[in-house]
A and B are shown apart, each in its own frame.
Chain A
Amino acid sequence: MNKVYANATEALDGLLFDGMFIAAGGFGLCGIPELLLQAIKDAGTKDLTFASNNAGVDDFGIGILLQTRQVKKMISSYVGENAEFMRQYLSGELELEFNPQGTLAERMRAGGAGIPGFYTKTGVGTVIAEGKEHKEFNGETYILEEGIFADLAIIKAWKADDTGNLIFRKTARNFNVPAATCGKICVAEVEEIVPRGSLDPDCIHLPGIYVHRIIQGEHEKRIEQRTTRKREEA
């Protein structure tokens, strides 16, 4: 079993095809698989559907694949930071399916856990509920949402061992865990691959069973909104 690859292009070799469905981790620009997204851009794979909470910004994250028109459809909860996204969406070039953020996370988790659908109160009485099965439980109305089963999951973690056990750092964990589980194949990019045995088995955030290929690389880790306080206020 060798899960470690030299770079993002090699790690994606044989996995990409036009029209495929990719689940991507990250929240805003935090914890996004920036190296794998660049490699998908370089590969030129087209008509992609992405399940991803956000769509990046114009020149970073999924935004770089929008510039090259490689994305056909986004399944997201919030896309406000991307002008090119809005242009393509308003002109009808890009399909968009809004999912409430928790529904999107649970759709990924459910897909990864072999659960094809689940009922939730989120969105009842809103446009999100239109066309979906409604069902009463204990006097309350719920709607049916479906699990996500993606062809490929691409995620970013902090550290991995060579068996694919992963740990994340702070709020960069976000969608990376549920996204990883809902792909037929999961490719993870990490900041550091550490020797087997050096991660505490009690502190693994995502067990290696979910991770098929790993690369280590340098990450830009761009900050979307830099907010600070002054020392005097302390």
Chain B
Amino acid sequence: MPWDRNQMAARAAEELEDGMYVNLGIGIPTLVANYVGDKDITLQSENGMLGMGPFPYEGEEDPDLINAGKQTITELARTAYFDSATSFAMIRGGKIAAAILGAMEVDEKGDLANWMIPGKLVKGMGGAMDLVAGVGRVIVVMDHTNKHGQSKVLRECTLPLTGKGVVDRIITNLGVLDVVEGGLKIVELADGVTEEEMRAATEATIVD
């Protein structure tokens, strides 16, 4: 059985080490916070916060306290607030150990596309281009194929890029792939997924 959203998030959480400062994107990446266990992880929200806490209890929402997805959140004992220039200085300056992000397409050179589809409504890149260019390690979490069954793990991205050669590791419902010299290397297969199934669903070059 391929992994479901929660299993993908749990697998992504294994990438995080004690003491890391991490930025989580919207969607499945947000679920990663539920699986860090005892590890001491500090979450950054790029609108100006380190030490992001869970959603508030009903009635305790604070309009001055939101995450980068504009959702109401809470602070923790360790929380620090800062302005947007400072926030992206720590991103661009390589202080954030890892970003876990969703994607529309990833390719074998580590190119990432996750911000626009030509001809469709373009909402903007937000902080995604800054994150992928700046953080220590970029981990993509997404479904291996789109709703038409076509591979999202490509030889070359077809959509406008968010970053070029920026992805380090890809976690999908079928398993884990690393971007290496010459293509992608299979690191792990989801329980019950065969290498043949992984290869069949992957357009990118797989190297041994």
Contacts and interface: CB of A to CB of B under 8 A. Distances in A.
A90 to B, nearest CB: 8
B73 A227 contact: yes
Contacts of B73: 227
Interface in A77-123: 77-81, 86, 98, 100-103, 105-106, 108-109, 120-123
A177 interface: yes
B80 to A, nearest CB: 11
A98 B124 contact: yes
Contact of A178 (B45, B84, B125): B84
Interface of B: 45-49, 54-58, 60-67, 69-73, 75, 81-85, 87-89, 91-92, 111, 121-130, 133-134, 160-165
Given A100-B129, A120-B92, A27 B84 contact: yes
A171 B161 contact: no
Contacts of B83: 105, 168, 173-178, 205
A55 to B, nearest CB: 10
A128 interface: yes
Contacts of B87: 102, 105
B130 A100 contact: yes
A29 B69 CA distance: 11
A127 B122 CA distance: 13
B63 A222 contact: yes
A16 interface: no
23 contacts: A27-B48, A28-B47, A98-B122, A100-B125, A101-B125, A102-B88, A106-B88, A122-B133, A123-B129, A123-B133, A125-B111, A127-B161, A158-B64, A171-B81, A174-B84, A177-B83, A225-B66, A227-B61, A227-B71, A228-B55, A229-B55, A230-B57, A234-B57
Contacts of A28: 47, 66, 70
B91 A102 contact: yes
Contacts of A224: 66, 70
Contact of A53 (B84, B91, B161): B84
Given A126-B160, A127-B160, A171-B45, A225 B130 contact: no
Contacts of A101: 46, 84, 88, 125-127, 130
A227 B127 contact: no
B64 A221 contact: yes
A132 to B, nearest CB: 13
Contacts of A221: 63-64
Contacts of B124: 76-80, 98
Nearest to B88: A102
9 smallest beta-carbon distances between A and B, as pairs: A102-B88, A125-B164, A80-B123, A102-B130, A177-B83, A78-B124, A101-B127, A105-B84, A100-B129
